[in-house]
A and B are shown apart, each in its own frame.
Chain A
């Protein structure tokens, strides 16, 4: 598949077109309008130093932390350290939301990747 040089915004355009507020907020957070070439994305930073892979890893870590936090609180509850009711409930909700979020982002990224693959073929 030829490298889609000169089409740095395609990926971003595909993400935006899904019109999901979630994706938009993730994209807003990256604060970059230009994404690297797809084939280079795995290893390289672009000229502005945007590290796509690093960002995704960071995102995964946040989601993982939410899961661990929720599990810790649930286990504490099981042990009888049941002092923080609303904190525990909110942590469980956050873990649920984070998991859904990352699943949705993953699906959208795969969709977008496939879209771009079709274009390049």
Chain B
């Protein structure tokens, strides 16, 4: 039955990535004037079939609130694209804001796509009726 939800789980992972990245980018914006601050980025490994469904690592007990490390394979790195200013702060506000706008849009798109996916599965689960 787990192959039923392969796409849904992939989209779930994408949603989690975008939320976490939004936090990292928001932190960059909040620290636009903090001396010595280096902007951070969150990168994710390319999607492959070896990743477990969200929260299923180690069993289907459904621990709420905690994210098992296997289900959270992202990596936080320093974004060294921009040059630091006189106070050592390297945050480019325009760059961060445009990243945030794109990230927001991707999250929104993923929620819609996963909703469509779930609607199709629901239709199939109803035996092709409603």
Asked if A and B touch directly (CB within 8 angstroms), the answer is yes
Q: Tell me the A residues contacting B by CB distance below 8 Å.
A: 18-23, 25-26, 29, 59, 62, 65, 68-69, 72-73, 76, 81, 83-84, 86-87, 90, 93-94, 96-98, 100-101, 104, 107-108
Minimum CB–CB distance from B11 to chain A (whole Å) comes to: 8
Interface bin, chain B: 20 to 34
Q: Tell me the B residues contacting A by CB distance below 8 Å.
A: 1, 3-5, 8, 12, 15-16, 19, 54-55, 60, 62, 64-65, 111, 114, 118, 121-122, 124-128
Minimum CB–CB distance from B57 to chain A (whole Å) comes to: 14
Query: Interface majority SS on B: helix, strand, loop or mixed?
Result: helix
Give CA–CA (A90, B19) in the complex, Å: 15
Whether the Cβ atoms of B125 and A101 lie closer than 8 Å is yes
Nearest opposing residue in chain A for B4, CB measure: A25
Q: A20-B127, A83-B65 are in contact. List 16 more A-B contacts (CB 8 A).
A: A22-B124, A26-B1, A62-B1, A62-B60, A68-B62, A69-B55, A69-B60, A76-B65, A86-B16, A86-B111, A87-B16, A90-B8, A93-B122, A97-B122, A101-B124, A108-B127
* CB < 8 Å neighbour of A20 from B4, B5, B54, B128: B128
Nearest opposing residue in chain A for B11, CB measure: A90
Chain A residues near B64 (CB-CB < 8 A): 72-73, 76, 81, 84
| Given known A62-B1, A69-B62, contact A20–B15 (CB-CB < 8 A) | no
Chain A residues near B54 (CB-CB < 8 A): 87
Whether the Cβ atoms of A21 and B128 lie closer than 8 Å is yes
| Given known A20-B124, A20-B127, A100-B122, contact A87–B8 (CB-CB < 8 A) | no
6 interchain pairs (CB within 8 A)?
Answer: A22-B124, A22-B127, A65-B62, A86-B19, A86-B114, A107-B127
Whether the Cβ atoms of B127 and A104 lie closer than 8 Å is yes
Give CA–CA (A100, B1) in the complex, Å: 14
Give CA–CA (A18, B126) in the complex, Å: 12
The winner among A73, A96, A100, A108 for most chain B CB atoms within 10 A is A100
| Given known A29-B1, A94-B5, contact A104–B118 (CB-CB < 8 A) | no
Chain B residues near A107 (CB-CB < 8 A): 127
Give CA–CA (A83, B19) in the complex, Å: 11
Chain B residues near A59 (CB-CB < 8 A): 1
